[in-house]
Amino acid sequence: MENWLVKRARLTPNRVAVSAGQQQLTFQEVAQAANKLAGQIAALGDDHPRVAVVTTNTLQGYLVIMGLQQLGKTIVFINRRLSVSEINFQLADAEVSLLLTDDAYTEKLTVAQQVKFSELPAGQAVTPVATYPDEFVTSIMYTSGTTSQPKGVMQTYHNHWASAMGSALNLGLTHQDAWLVAVPIFHISGFAILMRSLLYGMRVALVEKFDAHQINAILIHDTITTMSVVPVMLKQLLADLPEGAHYNSQFRAMLLGGGPTDRTTLHRAQAHHIPIIQSYGMTETASQVVALDPADADEKLGSVGKPLFPVTLRVQDEQGQTVPAGTSGTVWLQSPTLTPGYFNRPELLAKNMQAGWFNTEDYGYLDAAGFLYIQGRAGDMISSGGENIFPDEVESVYAKMPGLDKIVVVGVPDDKWGRVPVAVVQGTALSAAALRQFGREKLAHYKVPQRFYQAKDWHLTASGKVQRRLFTAELNQLQALH
């Protein structure tokens, strides 16, 4: 396919491509700035096919990404929140020799060249690559490593194309949309929006740091139509929004990923006329592959929706048989958005493939109408006396308990039941008796944690995912609540 930025700049040169605060650039201006940066990057003399990038959601970071694509480089996105040792592992694993960072990043890493954006040398004009081969890997993003060493997920231009087409067909996105990007552009949720902007010809509005009050002001006064959020961002936005306030008349949807919403939050959003599109996706599928129409949000609360147009789903049991509607199992999918593999580790994708189907390792079920419900990671499921317990479900129920700030549920061995759930918590004035009573009023008795432990430290990955294995490993050092 013809170079996306070159093509877009030729089609709609004067349309606004990106804005950041008071700054904005047209597609033609983006192409010119990206070409200049491409020449500066080329002047560094690094001939490796991959270049690593550390950036926040800034205009300069956006332009560096575009510049690397003009050089035909594969971008290895690095999460700046990771520790030095974690980043060094990824740099070595991705076999890069050049790291470009925003000026705010100060850690020194183990790489041949580490260059700040402002320190790029003067360069000669370059000719952008003419075409983007469908199977060329344009981006590599490392999984959060909740259960093992991080793996470099490769994403091709074809993956991003198919993802963009699925969103356009199912969500009705066009060049008239403007997407506010507060999720990190080094994650698939953010980078996918930048790629879609080139294909649709729509504006992206970059926000460097999530500030609910600031973003609400933008959504009220700017002509933003769409924003991607995770549940905690959505709740903070709604908590900050004054009663009776509404976003601008063009606003169409909050695209919610990273977990389902609850009925209270949904109704609060509806009171402000904010449609919520719940969704499901992963780094391996170049963003969302399932979405829930806002019209179904009340009736199908807890569902992530139906598969987008190019995606096919099924739910299988342990014997590999498709299970009937309403029966839980492992979620498998077929999609043109699926990664071609993990960098230098082809055996890992092959392990999760079966006759063209990909095992998401998520546990869930499809209802009779084809709506998907995700119950949790298959590896997190606790089998207790023949009953399956999903930590996500238990945690979502306890999230409504007054005084309880955080909870993570894990399974531990038990002589009678095989395994039983226990919980690690943080909060104020908590007691095991009160926690147990709260659970018994809202959950089946076998789902209520048998024991509760108080934690001082809270183990999260850099992308904010709970590291259950670390909580499990330190249970015998934690104080049990009485």
CA distances from 249 to 7, 53, 170, 203, 349 (A): 31, 37, 21, 17, 44
- What is the average pLDDT score of the chain? 94
If you average pLDDT over residues 431-452, what whole number do you get? 93
Q: Express each pLDDT in 198-207 by its tens digit.
A: 999 999 999 9
134: helix, coil or strand? coil
**What is the distance between the alpha carbons of residues 283 and 449, in angstroms, rounded to a whole number?**
31
| Domain spans of the chain, in order of start | 4-308+367-375, 381-480
Q: What is the DSSP string of 443-475?
A: S-GGGS-S-EEE-SS--B-TTS-B-HHHHHHTG
Q: Express each pLDDT in 390-432 by its tens digit.
A: 898 899 889 889 999 999 999 999 888 888 999 999 999 999 9
**What is the distance between the alpha carbons of residues 398 and 452, in angstroms, rounded to a whole number?**
12
If you average pLDDT over residues 122-136, what whole number do you get? 95
pLDDT of residue 376: 84
pLDDT of residue 463: 64
Pick the CATH number of 381-480 from 3.30.1370.160, 3.40.50.720, 3.30.300.30, 3.10.20.30: 3.30.300.30
- Of the listed ranges 11-25, 121-135, 256-270, 359-373, the least confidently predicted one is 256-270
Taken in order 468, 470, 471, 472, is the CA torsion positive or negative? positive
- Indicate if the pLDDT at residue 259 is higher than 80: no
**What is the distance between the alpha carbons of residues 209 and 80, in angstroms, rounded to a whole number?**
13
Q: State the fold for domain 4-308+367-375.
A: Rossmann fold (3.40.50)
pLDDT of residue 145: 56
Question: What is the three-state SS of 86-141?
Answer: HHHHHHHHCCCCEEEECCCCCCCCCCCEEEEHHHCCCCCCCCCCCECCCCCEEEEE
pLDDT of residue 111: 98
- pLDDT class for 467, splitting at 50, 70, 90? confident
- Indicate if the pLDDT at residue 386 is higher than 80: no
If you average pLDDT over residues 319-333, what whole number do you get? 95
Q: Express each pLDDT in 162-171 by its tens digit.
A: 999 999 998 8
Tokens representing residue 437 in the block: 């009573």
Report the percentage of the chain scoring pLDDT > 70.
Answer: 99
Q: Express each pLDDT in 144-157 by its tens digit.
A: 655 557 899 999 99
Q: Of the candidates 12, 67, 335, which has an alpha carbon nearest to the alpha carbon of residue 200? A: 12
| Residue pointed to by tokens 């060249």 | 113
pTM given for the model? 0.87
Query: What amino acid occupies position 206?
Result: L
User: Which of left, alpha, beta for 356 (phi over 0: left; psi -120 to 50: alpha)?
Assistant: left
Partner residues linked to 112 by β-bridges: none
pLDDT of residue 408: 96
- pLDDT class for 263, splitting at 50, 70, 90? confident
- pLDDT class for 3, splitting at 50, 70, 90? very high
pLDDT of residue 144: 65
Partner residues linked to 156 by β-bridges: 137
**What is the distance between the alpha carbons of residues 273 and 58, in angstroms, rounded to a whole number?**
30
- pLDDT class for 230, splitting at 50, 70, 90? confident
